[in-house]
Amino acid sequence: MSRTWVLVAAVVFTTVFSGSLLALSIWERAYVRPDVVVPGVKVGPMPFSGLTAAEGMARLRDYEKKLLLQPVRLECEGRCWSLPLEKVGAAVDTGVLSEALAVGHRGWLVNRYLERHRVSRDGEVLPIKVHVDQGTLTATIAEITRELTVLPLNAGFKVLPNDTVVIISGREGRYADPEPAYPQLLNILNNGSEPVVRLTLKELPPDHTTEEIIDMGIDARLGEFTTFFDTTKANRVYNISVAAGALNSLLIKPGETVSFNKIVGPRSSEAGYKTAPTIINNEFVDALGGGVCQVSTTLYNAVLLAGLEVVERHSHSLPVTYVPAGRDATVVYEGADFCFKNSTDKYLYLRTLVSGNKLTIKIFGNKDFIRNVKIQSWVIEIFKPKTVRREDPNLEIGKAVVKQQGISGCYARAERWFVTGDKTEKEELAPSFYNPLDEIVAVGTKSVPVIVAPLKTETGPVSGSTGPGPVLDPDQTNVFFDQSLPGIVYNNFR
């Protein structure tokens, strides 16, 4: 074949092919709608040929409604319940509609034509996918099978009135395990398997087992201390109760350091504290939380007697009355703190009791750490208070009133003794310095005007006189008046 004929053939082929494509394109635009499912497409058992997106969505929703009416049984331990599909978040995946609309409308022109031809001849079935909300399914199963649920019982311990510690045994619980339900239900809804979801019971362990409680080692009282307070000071007693309550039932891990301020928290009205006398800048003033230092002091002495390590302790700036000098522990939130360490290898447990006029703090731990502890404290030097006289314009001249009783300050030392048989080990405690509290006396500066008695009228001369003259006041006061000079003090008899 000559070159000329080859060129002619190529031109003819190109012309025919291009014409065919053009004709095919015109035919598609005229007879094929891109927003309608092509013939031969099914979604599950449902024909979708010729449906628009809205019509296809409506058909899917109808299918979903019928699907959710399907009865499904839930079985566990010989019990049987109905599993309502509308409550487990079951729903048809509507993404299949986009897949149906895409058939025969993908790719270039010839591919679209060939795919439509194939689907029209052989058909195309797109599977329906049903989803289930696993969290909703789990919650629904828990509600349905709650009669089989047995909650676990945490092990613990209890301190009896005689300070004996007893262990409370724990118990495992059980519940219908919902985990296998999810794949079983999907298989039922998507593959038409037997409509039965079968579950088994699963053990539910307690948070704290009996073995764990025993391993904590709390079986004896290591130390305790009691201080007393004035029950007539209601706000102060209330603050003591609040702070003591924050410490009650405190568990302390082996080696853990306890901060009083961190456990008790800020002494604010929001925390429940009231205004009561407390020491600020070497003076007793009313402030929120007055009385909390008695709790920290009581805890300090209980810690000492329990043989535990003291990490931080500060004495008051003025003497206090509820413990001997050298045995107090002041605290200021975000300031001075009282801290101690669990220096045993077992847990510690705190119990606080406010009853009547006393506060008691007990520390429980392992009996192997019980120690015979004694505390000795003594005063090295005493500082006498000064007497400060302050003028008071509301007090009459010549009068004086003691506004604040003076209290002697002192320098005190203390020791802790560990006694083992005939051997005594001494530990020197931090020294304490207390400023004296000055005696404040108010001295009156208010002047008082002289009160003059009214004139008295007599009808006869005084004995030895020929006319009106001086007379005695009938009330027998010590003031003598002269009638001729009304209102003027003339003489005093005493």
pLDDT for 263 equals 95
Which residues have C-beta within 8 Å of that of residue 43, sequence separation ≥ 6? 56, 59, 60, 96, 97, 100, 125, 126, 128
- Please report the pLDDT score of residue 339 as a whole number: 97
Q: pLDDT tens per residue, the chain (494 residues)?
A: 556 654 545 544 455 444 444 444 454 444 456 778 889 898 888 898 888 889 889 999 998 888 888 899 999 999 999 999 988 988 988 888 888 888 877 766 667 768 777 888 888 889 888 889 999 999 999 999 999 999 999 999 999 999 999 999 999 999 999 999 999 999 998 888 899 999 999 999 999 999 999 999 999 999 999 999 999 999 999 999 999 999 999 999 999 999 999 999 998 878 778 877 676 665 666 667 788 999 999 999 999 999 999 999 999 988 888 999 999 999 998 899 999 999 999 999 999 999 999 999 999 999 999 999 999 999 999 999 999 999 889 888 988 899 888 888 899 999 999 999 989 999 999 999 999 988 999 998 888 776 666 655 555 554 444 444 444 444 443 333 333 333 333 333 33
Q: Which residue has the tokens 């709608």?
A: 33
| Closest C-alpha to 268, from 294, 298, 246 | 246
**What distances in angstroms separate CA 193 from CA 138, 183, 189, 197, one per listed residue?**
21, 12, 8, 10
pLDDT, residue 4, reads 60
The pLDDT, as a whole number, for residue 253 is 97
Q: Which of 106, 210, 95, 104 is nearest to 152 (CA)?
A: 210
Angstrom distance (rounded) from CA 35 to CA 134: 35
Distance CA 406, CA 409 (A): 10
**What is the length of the chain?**
494
Find, among 231, 435, 239, 433, the residue nearest to 333 by Cα: 239
User: Per-residue b/e over 51-74, b at no fewer than 16 CB within 10 Å?
Assistant: beeeebeebbeebbeebbeeebeb
Q: What is the pLDDT of residue 482?
A: 38
Q: What is the pLDDT of residue 480?
A: 34
What distance in Å separates the CA atoms of residue 1 and residue 215, rounded to the nearest whole number?
A: 103
Tell me the C-alpha distance between 53 and 39, whole Å. 15
pTM of the model as a whole: 0.66
Q: Which tokens is 453 given?
A: 């008695």
CA angle 427, 306, 335 (to 5 degrees): 75
What pLDDT was estimated at residue 453? 61
Report the C-alpha gap between 50 and 43 in whole angstroms: 13
